[in-house]
Amino acid sequence: MSYDISLYPRTPGQDWDSVIEADQQEGPEMDRAQLDSGVATFRRIEARLREQLTEPVEVWVAEETDGDVVGELTALDSGMQVELYDRSASVSFPYWGREDLPAFHDLVRRTVAIVADETGYQAYDNQTGSTFDGTFDDQAGRELTRRLGAEGAGPGSGGMTEGYAAGAGDGAGPGGAGFGATGAGEGGADGATDATAPGAAPAQPDPRRSPRTLRRRGWLYVIIGLVLTVFGLQRWLAGDTGVLTWFVLGIGAFDLIGGWLMFQLARQAAPEEPGASAGGPDHGGPDTPGLSRP
């Protein structure tokens, strides 16, 4: 489970329905010049993010033109992920417990601003179905994650439960600073946004339900799940059976299961889109393309 912010090219006055519909249409394969331009854009994003992040990161960059992903950056401690595609970008983070939630939200705001600045795209909040304004409607997701962690307690899962429950004191949300705005302090608008009814449906169609997007998320979850699982197994084989090891293994397993579920949902959703294929993934792994900066 993650909080997803998408970034798309958008013309003045264009509504989000048409923006999302255009992104979901299959486009032509990128050529080498577009891939190189996209990689250069991603490298600029990466360089600026490394100046902001105080945690280790994992980076992958496309080398072939037969996919739709240009590059991926994952912050290993916080789980924040930045992805650059051929015609869009995204910033997402898992609903984990945070010691300093307002500070983390501020980091995400700055990350979205960097991606928007380097691509020229505008940010869209998939949870609210509207332009991302710097606030986060993530209280319901954080509470659900903690509840699932508590309910899933069992033999060998203690570390995972403790990891999720650690965020029980996160607070109502980060400060009310608007996205790209100046001066607003902590504790304002975000707290109000977090209180939004969890069942409220966005006015725009949810882009996360398209087969293309579901397959993207599926491959991302599988890649992250494998990395975390291998890391956890290395710690376990080295004799470290502490809380962190079990927590990493648990999150890795959740990501792998989540990836499999995304692929299943993509197959179910594919017939609903004319021309959509239920076959192999649109992206992922090393077979991914580039993006040209607007």
Would you state the pLDDT for residue 207?
54
128-132-135 Cα angle (round to 5): 80
Would you state the pLDDT for residue 145?
67
pLDDT in tens, 54-76: 999 999 999 988 888 999 999 99
pLDDT in tens, 136-176: 988 777 776 667 666 655 444 444 333 433 343 343 333 33
pTM for this entry: 0.55
Phi, psi of 83 (to 5 degrees): -125, 135
Angle at which helices 158-165 and 243-269 pack, to 10 degrees? Answer: 80
Would you state the pLDDT for residue 56?
94
Domain boundaries, the chain: 2-141+156-209
Q: Contact at 8 Å (CB) between 204 and 17?
A: yes
State the amino acid at position 34 in one-letter form.
Q
